[in-house]
Amino acid sequence: MLKVDNLVVKVDNKEILKGIDFELKDNEIGVIFGQNGSGKSTFLQTLMGFSDYKVKNGKIIFENQNIANESIDKRAKLGMGIMLQKPPVIKGVKLIDVLKLLNNNEEEILNLAKKYNMESYLYREINKGFSGGEIKRSELFSLIIQSPKLALIDEPESGVDVDNLKLIGEMIKNLIQNRSGIVITHTGEILKYLPDNSKGFIFENGKVIKKGLAKELFKDIKKFGFRRGDES
């Protein structure tokens, strides 16, 4: 469903991604590991189509079409959705207003809000005064309402306490059921909510330096750091 071929991306005229190859089949989950600054968030935001990220080379094939030059809203319509690592506060806009744009079935929104205990957030301004965990839950809730074919999820567990982590884990589990997803994780805590066959990718300096089963890769990372087994 997604095939990224030799993707080179510049931000502020600096090359950040230096030839990424990445592939995901239908219903598959990809997990990205890597040091701070290795290009993980840049990769997800490039997939989504944010305008700061200039594709200089390579292809992004999403469901058999090259979308590397498509707008962000076209990509959303084709079925991509993202949860940013640091979601912005949007003053003056209530969560419910955005949810209604994402899904015109208001009854379904209200039912899901009940299910995920999000009712009290619906009529607040987006992320304003929310705690770290509440922001992540609110953003994930928007993704659930949007129901994308490919969910891009950037560090869902950072800044989140244990209770919220469990809620977030369950939300992600539901979100990616029978769908595809890419999840960036720093701590690996989210792995226990992801399928055992999730694919793992280690990023370093704008490249993928290692691939394998995500859970196996993470065991190695915990023991040996990011570079073990790399020949170069």
Number of residues that bind ligand ADP (CB under 6 A): 12
* H or E stretch at 3: strand 2-11
User: If you count DSSP H runs as helices and E runs as strands, how many of each does the chain have, helices first?
Assistant: 7, 12
Residues 68-127 that bind ligand ADP (CB under 6 A): none
Site string for ligand ADP, 48-67 (x = CB under 6 A): ----x---------------
Question: Residue 216 binds which entry of ligand ADP, Mg ion, none, with Cβ cut-offs from 5 to 8 Å by kind?
Answer: none
CB of 38 to ligand ADP, least distance (A): 4
Question: Residue 230 binds which entry of Mg ion, ligand ADP, none, with Cβ cut-offs from 5 to 8 Å by kind?
Answer: none
Query: How distant, in Å, are the alpha carbons of 156, 200, 232 from that of 5?
Result: 26, 17, 22
In contact, 140 and 169? CB cutoff 8 Å: no
In contact, 181 and 29? CB cutoff 8 Å: yes
Note whether 163 binds ligand ADP by CB under 6 A: no
In contact, 201 and 44? CB cutoff 8 Å: no
Site string for ligand ADP, 13-42 (x = CB under 6 A): ---x-----------------x-xxxxxxx
Interacting residue ranges for ligand ADP, rule: CB under 6 A: 11-12, 16, 34, 36-42, 52
